[in-house]
Amino acid sequence: MNRRTLVGLLLLWSLGPLLWQVYTSFCSDQALIQPFVSHDQRWTLIHYQSVLNANPPFWRYLVNSLIVGISSTFLCLLLALPAAYALNRIPRQLSALSRLALVGAALFPYVLLFLALLELARALNLGNQLLALSLPYAALSQPLAILLLNNAFNDLPPELEDAAKLEGLSLFQRFRWIFIPLISPATASTAILVFLFSWNEYPIALTWISDSSKLTLPVAMARIAGSSIYSVPYGAYAAATVLGSIPLVLLVLIFQKPIVSGLTSGAVKG
């Protein structure tokens, strides 16, 4: 087996299901169950129409997920950036201990928390509020975000900050002029990971939100899949999947360069 076939097989393995989903979304229901259908009966946009014209329309969920995704990413970075910096400046032993705790927290299966979180949401009256969802999302992404950003801070030569201190830059100015620009690749890749988590998250969104106009994508998709007990709406589900992945594909395409350079770390050299 040469290299080319190996790459081809890997591509098929990872992209195959996606392409199949795209294909399915454009097929009529009839075409999905019968192998031989005439050309004009095979291709259709009806699934997209039905998904977009449903009540509430599908773009509503996209907007909801975007709101939650952007707000949780913003909140997460707002807290993680100073924390990652501080982790770099506290005494070494304390920092090592904190990092260990963060790794533990990052590896913790968060599904175990969702019942407790539901109780919290009920007690604090956070149910059915989109922005409230960003609280658990930002918190759950926090350990990983801090660790990733801390690595980026570690890679910066310490003299850069020393020189800036001597020039008279305050902590805030040092962030503005040195840290934010220099760790932007790591920040971008962290932001994508946090956004992805929020975009895909299911159990918390399912339990916190019941108002159908405030659902996020994963929950809405599950509703489409289970909308009828007599049939499985493959076509509509596939159309929703395709629509739901478009924003992510765009996001990754736009930020491709910083993500790759951020994930491979050592991105910034003095």
Please report, as ranges, the residues that interact with other proteins according to CB under 8 A: 157, 159-160, 162-170, 173, 177-178, 181-182, 268-270
Q: Which residue has the tokens 């509509």?
A: 236
Q: How far is the CB of 178 from other proteins (least distance, A)?
A: 6
Decide whether 79 or 156 has the Cβ nearer to other proteins.
156
Positive or negative CA dihedral for 59, 248, 193, 108? Answer: positive
Give the amino acid at 212.
Answer: S
Shortest Å distance, C-beta 89 to other proteins:
13
Give the residue with the Cβ less far from other proteins, 161 or 201.
161
Q: Report the largest interatomic distance among the alpha carbons of the chain, rounded to a whole angstrom.
A: 76
CB 98 to other proteins: min, Å: 19
The nearer residue to other proteins, 59 or 177, going by C-beta atoms, is 177
Using the minimum distance from each CB to other proteins, give the nearer residue, 40 or 159: 159
Question: Minimal distance in Å, beta carbon 216 to other proteins?
Answer: 37
- State the nearest-atom distance from the C-beta of 170 to other proteins, in Å: 8
Which lies closer to other proteins via its Cβ, residue 148 or residue 268?
268
**CA dist., res. 78 & res. 245, Å (int):** 26
